[in-house]
């Protein structure tokens, strides 16, 4: 027998003489990855240019683009995280900030378990737009969705217009909304903000869900069908 053939067979682990360690290694390699315990959808909204895409890319790929193109419609990325001993597959939807895309982006609110509302701490108009985004949430999102307000571009502290206190006052008028400041550019507080939101979502979920029931929260990659606006009670309290 050709001796090269003999060596190849052994290296493949098929021979009875193959080392047990090698056999175990190849068995390990064939093990499929543990499936996610939860699959959650998170949507990022906010005015044009506040850094929605940049926050998503920093969180999912740890990258930053100085001159990104404005988002057209919606885009998404996947990231798997481990929290509370569970494996969670996040589908993160990045939406266009331009108003002309609202009819497209609004269809993605319904399935979101978490909503990240972003403004730019150096641009007053992006903060003034927040009530408009809250009306979109009230109209299209699930009442159960967790809300996170993010003041982005913290690296531009010298150009800051919106103080932390102003944003905290705004947040305190919305039940259950969290607030944080971050910089997608400097990678400051981005992961922490997203993970806190996911943790809040998990905290609200039943501790053990049978696998069959989980499929209800598994997201198809298709957008949710557009649904007629529901009359959710507004989340924003009047002062
Ligand atoms: N200095 C600074 N610039 C940022 C930061 N995040 C985003 N930018 C810049 O702001 C600009 C807009 O960023 P995008 O991430 O495209 O903003 P967007 O909200 O997705 O914009 P639309 O898709 O148009 O709605 C880009 O030039 C980014 O490089 C940040 O944390 N700091």
Q: Which two tokens stand for residue 15?
A: 């021979």
> Could you tell me if the CB of 53 is within 6 A of ligand 1?
yes
Complete DSSP assignment for 71-126:
P-SEEEEEEEEEETTEEEEEEEEEE--SGGGHHHHGGGTTT-SEEEEEEETT-HHH
Atom of ligand 1 nearest to the CA of 66: 29
Class of domain 36-202: alpha beta
> Could you tell me if the CB of 58 is within 6 A of ligand 1?
no
> Could you tell me if the CB of 183 is within 6 A of ligand 1?
yes
pTM, 2 dp = 0.79
> Could you tell me if the CB of 184 is within 6 A of ligand 1?
yes
pLDDT tens, position by position, 90-122 = 999 999 999 899 999 999 999 999 999 999 999
Asked if the interface predicted TM-score (ipTM) of this complex is over 0.90, the answer is: yes
Per-position pLDDT tens, the chain of length 239: 444 433 333 333 334 344 555 555 656 677 777 889 999 999 999 999 999 999 999 999 999 999 889 999 999 999 999 999 999 999 999 999 998 999 999 999 999 999 999 999 999 999 999 999 999 999 999 999 999 999 999 999 999 999 999 999 999 999 999 999 999 999 999 999 999 999 999 998 876 554 444 443 433 333 333 433 444 555 665 44
What distance in angstroms lies between residue 51's CA and the mean position of ligand 1's atoms?
3
Enclosing H/E stretch for 128: helix 124-128
What distance in angstroms lies between residue 54's CA and the mean position of ligand 1's atoms?
6
- CA 95 to chain CA centroid, Å, is 12
Sheet with 86-95, edge to edge strand ranges: 74-83, 86-95, 38-46, 114-120, 146-152, 177-181
> Could you tell me if the CB of 50 is within 6 A of ligand 1?
yes
pLDDT tens, position by position, 55-64 = 999 999 999 9
């Amino acid at each position: 027998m050709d001796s090269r053939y003999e060596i190849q067979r052994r290296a493949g682990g098929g021979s009875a003489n193959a080392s047990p360690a090698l056999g175990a290694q190849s068995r390990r390699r064939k093990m499929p990855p543990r499936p996610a315990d939860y699959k959650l959808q998170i949507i990022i909204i906010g005015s044009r240019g506040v850094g929605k895409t940049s926050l998503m890319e920093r969180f999912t790929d740890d990258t930053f683009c100085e001159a990104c193109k404005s988002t057209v419609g919606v885009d998404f990325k996947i990231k798997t995280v481990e929290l509370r001993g569970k494996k969670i597959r996040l589908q993160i939807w990045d939406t266009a900030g331009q108003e002309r895309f609202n009819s497209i982006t609004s269809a993605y609110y319904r399935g979101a378990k978490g909503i990240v509302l972003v403004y730019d701490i150096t641009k007053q108009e992006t903060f003034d737009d927040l009530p408009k985004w809250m009306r979109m949430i009230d109209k299209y999102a699930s009442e159960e969705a967790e809300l996170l307000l993010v003041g982005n571009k913290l690296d531009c502290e010298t150009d800051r217009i919106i103080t932390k206190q102003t944003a905290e006052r705004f947040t305190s008028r919305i039940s259950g909304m969290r607030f944080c400041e971050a910089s997608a550019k400097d990678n400051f507080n981005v992961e922490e903000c997203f993970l806190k939101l996911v943790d809040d979502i998990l905290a609200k979920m039943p501790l053990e869900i049978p696998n069959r029931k989980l499929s209800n929260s598994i997201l198809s990659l298709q957008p949710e069908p557009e649904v007629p606006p529901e009359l959710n009670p507004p989340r924003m309290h009047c002062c």
